Amino acid sequence: MIVVAGGGAFGTALAVSLAANGPVGLWMRSPEAAEMAGRIRENTKRLPGVALPENIAVSADIDTVFEAETVLLALPAQQLRSFLEQFGERLSGKTLVACAKGIDVETMAGPVTLLERMVPDATSAMLTGPSFAADIARGLPTALTIACRDDEAGVRLQHALTTPSLRFYRTTDTRGAELGGALKNVVAIASGACIGKGYGDSARAALMTRGFAEMQRLAAFFEAEPQTLMGLSGFGDLTLTCTSELSRNYRFGLAWGRHEDFDKSLTVEGVHTALAVARLAEKEQIDMPITRLVADVVNGVLDVDDALQQLLSRPLKEE
């Protein structure tokens, strides 16, 4: 059986979609949240308004995760390492699919790299691509990417995870998939700030394009395949996240641009990824001005208005 570990918006939505194929487990850290979701058949905190099919077994018992052959790890990127430190040994031999989009600030590793380092005996993969939990949970058509270095395992996962509304493409370029998924969140924050500040759609299109150039430069440094960045996990997700108010990263940026507060309980992956990638880019001398400015605003070194002004007044150069 497939078990989804992590009962946030995304984990719950994936469980709802997978339930169309058969029984699925949903492990939540909080016993109270699991008890309530199991009883009222709804995750009212993270995915309100979506009924949980009866064949989703909700539990806070970690043994349900250890008993599964395939585990989808739907935790935020900054939580994955501590989860693996705690439970990694019990996950060896399994097929593990990270569903997080981000770079771990401590180790600068993406989700698949963390899995490979911390559970070397597992088959490690990543689920990524343009997809909002709310859309998946409503059964709207969604195309995703499964990234797995072991292509046979990738094919198996592709088939096991496809549902009537989720369509999976596949790649063996886990590095490219990690980078695309993580960096698009940083560019989405900048895009939100640009719109929030009132700079308009043309400026946003410029920002997205220059952000994509940064993504490609970092991917080239890590020898990721250029075409991975052109696909769902890169360009596809960049487009979605930089243009939709369903995105938390984009809404976070909007609030920055408007000088409004933002709900701190929401997961905004791009904040942490900007810090990790800006440090890495500085160390390796990779030109990533958008990421640098987002990190500077996060660190309180720059005001968001000054950061946007700096972006607009960069030296003239070739495209």
Ligand X SMILES: O=P(O)(O)OC[C@H](O)CO
Is residue 130 within 8 Å of residue 185, measured between CB atoms?
A: no
Q: Residue 133, interface with ligand NAD (CB under 6 A)?
A: yes
**According to the annotation, is 197 in a ligand binding site?**
no
Distance, CA of 120 to CA of 107 (rounded, Å): 17
When CB distances are held under 5 to 8 angstroms depending on the partner's kind, the choice from ligand NAD, ligand X, none that residue 196 binds is none
Q: Closest CB to ligand NAD belongs to which residue?
A: 8
55 annotated as a binding-site residue = no
Q: Which does 249 bind (CB under 5 to 8 A by kind): ligand X, ligand NAD, none?
A: ligand X
Catalytic member of 45, 184, 264, 283: 184
With binding defined as CB under 6 A, does residue 235 bind ligand NAD? no
Q: Is 184 a catalytic residue?
A: yes
11 is in an annotated binding site: yes
- List the one residue from 132, 212, 235, 256 that touches ligand X (CB under 6 A): 132
Is 82 labelled a binding residue? Answer: no
Residue in 88, 130, 231, 234 binding ligand X, rule: CB under 6 A? 130
Question: Between residues 95 and 128, which has the closer beta carbon with respect to ligand NAD?
Answer: 128
Which CB sits closer to ligand X, 123 or 247?
247
One of 11, 25, 110, 289 touching ligand NAD (CB under 6 A): 11
Binding residues for NADPH: 10, 29, 101, 133, 248, 269
Residues serving a catalytic function are 184
Footprint of ligand NAD (CB under 6 A): 6-11, 29, 46, 74-77, 79, 82-83, 99-102, 131-133, 267, 269
Binding residues for substrate: 101, 248-249
Footprint of ligand X (CB under 6 A): 101, 130-132, 185, 188, 237, 240-241, 247-249, 269
